[in-house]
Structure 1
Amino acid sequence: MNDLRIAIAGAGGRMGRMLVEATLRDAEATLAAAIDQPDAVVLGKDAGELVGLPCGILVSSDRDAGIAQATCLIDFTRPEGTLEHLEICRRHGTAIVIGTTGFDAAGKNAIAAAAEDIPVVFAPNMSVGVNVVFKLLDLAARIMNEGYDIEIVEAHHRHKIDAPSGTALRMGEVVAQAFGRDLRQCAVYGREGVTGERLPSTIGFSTIRGGDIVGDHNVMFCGLGERVEIGHKASSRLPYALGSLRAARFLSSRSKGLFDMQDVLGLR
């Protein structure tokens, strides 16, 4: 059996199924458990059959037993569920990759506290491409730190429950930090009515929700006579799954600590 034994939370969902498929196709990983809610219609089904790859691992609602079987849990569910899974991981000494977004300050503090005992990768986006974009944004913002207005536009499917996306917020944080600003003080979330002229120190966010858009993000540096755009478009959830497995491999050599994808990819 491979040392990288993966448990997947929310295995019957859109992202969960992609994680199941990516894990089953990864020669260096083993699907150890597939977990979902007690009322999920996929309970008792072969997790692999959900993606055309029968594997003998049945979807279960027994989170404790599933996490105990794994060396790493990958979780793209919801904040309340992820925090419960986090405590189970902490109890069993299981690493966790958290792709869930929408945490409040208390949730983020709980993740940091758990990382004192277990290894955690917590990132707003697991895609390798998106994390390269974060690096490019930092470079661009340091160069275009005067005379440019920053606008961030993101689009996701109709089922996404938080806005702006965690990725868009992280993009804003990267730019704000490069400018020496606090995003909490300079962010503007949508505009309506007579708003007056745009304040040059602000960073604007626009959110689109519709259809089955997987995830589009675009950051515009708008100057006089020119506009520089840095963006990323995901056509499927596969990049998030592949990045998550890369994060799980990264954690396999760590005993504890809080990391993000910049650490995983060596971009710091």
Structure 2
Amino acid sequence: MKTKVAVNASSGKMGQQVINQTISNANADLVAALCRPNHRLLGRQVRYTDIYYSSNLDESLQQSEVVVDFSLPEGTLQLLKTALITSTPVLVGTTGFSAEQLNVLKTASKKIPILLAPNTSIGVNSTLALLSMAAKMLGKKADIEIIESHHKHKLDAPSGTAIRMGEAIAEAMNENFDDLKVTDSRFDKRSRKKGEIGMSVIRAGEIIGEHKVLFALDNEIISIEHKAQNRLCFAEGAVSAAVWLASQPAGFYTMQDFLASN
């Protein structure tokens, strides 16, 4: 039986990709497409379906078994209030949360399943595993730099994916990422300190998402890189993970949990 999926922020670039992927996924059934009140799409028909764009969160979530959200932190928290009432699992692809907002998500996960994924690409989440392996072998010996590039419209920097990469590297080294990360070292008149994880950010054009991690030794450099060719890779992972999440008990999940189950 197909899983009933609602898509929040459905008018956005990722929302549209998630809608398309939900429609084409053999295990998913699109039952709701949510957008802001007074949005130009409100009341219009979602192409190739009998679904109409709606701003009614309560009604949409009541008929859904899981909701996929790629919005802004404030939008996610607003969605979460209704999801707690309707007991609807939430896959969160939104990034840029503050520590306080993340705590709200984690608290809510005691009552409903929540999967937080700074990046829903299967490739990126496989890359995280490679970075952990590299960090265990090279982390203490190398200068580590994470270089991420996105389109000029992206608001948060560094990206959620870059931060998660840094966390994975630090965890593999038994270190705290917040103690190692540096975002402004290239602007200080000093040499690089031992153990720093540098974060470089590029915002330009319509770059979908590129992440490169350098492990620089004195005489050689190891580079691990992921490039998104289009947003379909994020939508594919999001819908597949959402179908899985719909059948999970309350808890706080990641894409690694989903991948480990397959």
Q: What is the TM-score of this pair, normalised by structure 2? A: 0.96
> What are the superposed Cα offsets for residues 222-242 of structure 1, whole Å, 9 maximum, x if unpaired?
001110011100011111111
Q: Using a 3 Å threshold, how does the CA distance of structure 1 residues 3 and 152 change in structure 2: closer, same or farther?
A: same
Q: Distance in 2 between matches of 1:262 and 1:25?
A: 24
2:258 is aligned with 1:264: yes
Q: Distance in 1 between matches of 2:6 and 2:62?
A: 9
Q: Distance in 1 between matches of 2:259 and 2:188?
A: 44
Deviation at 1:129? 0.5
Deviation at 1:253? 2.1
> What are the superposed Cα offsets for residues 108-165 of structure 1, whole Å, 9 maximum, x if unpaired?
1111111111111112111110000000000000011332100000001111110000
Contact residue 32 and residue 69 of structure 1 kept, 8 A: yes
Deviation at 1:39? 3.0
Q: Distance in 2 between matches of 1:267 and 1:138?
A: 19
Aligned residue in 2 for 1:186: 180
How many residue pairs get aligned? The number is: 262
Contact residue 135 and residue 267 of structure 1 kept, 8 A: no
Letter in 1 for 2:242: A
Contact residue 116 and residue 256 of structure 1 kept, 8 A: yes
2:260 alignment partner, SS class: coil
Deviation at 1:267? 7.9
Q: Distance in 1 between matches of 2:261 and 2:139?
A: 22
Deviation at 1:255? 2.5
Aligned residue in 1 for 2:238: 244
Aligned residue in 2 for 1:38: 37
Aligned residue in 1 for 2:142: 148
Aligned residue in 1 for 2:111: 117
Aligned residue in 2 for 1:104: 98
Aligned residue in 2 for 1:93: 87
Deviation at 1:191? 3.8
Of 195, 215, 224, the residue aligned with 2:209 is 215
2:158 is aligned with 1:159: no
> What are the superposed Cα offsets for residues 149-208 of structure 1, whole Å, 9 maximum, x if unpaired?
000000011111100000000101111112222111211113454521100211100100
Bigger shift: residues 232-241 or 193-202: 193-202
Q: Distance in 2 between matches of 1:76 and 1:209?
A: 19
Aligned residue in 2 for 1:13: 12
> What are the superposed Cα offsets for residues 71-92 of structure 1, whole Å, 9 maximum, x if unpaired?
0000000000101111211110
Percent identity (aligned): 39
Unmatched segments (≥5 aa) in structure 2? none
Aligned residue in 1 for 2:220: 226
Q: Distance in 1 between matches of 2:120 and 2:87?
A: 22
Aligned residue in 1 for 2:168: 174
Letter in 2 for 1:74: V
Q: Using a 3 Å threshold, how does the CA distance of structure 1 residues 244 and 38 change in structure 2: closer, same or farther?
A: same
Q: What is the TM-score of this pair, normalised by structure 1? A: 0.94
Contact residue 138 and residue 174 of structure 1 kept, 8 A: yes
Of 51, 67, 77, the residue aligned with 2:71 is 77
Deviation at 1:41? 1.5
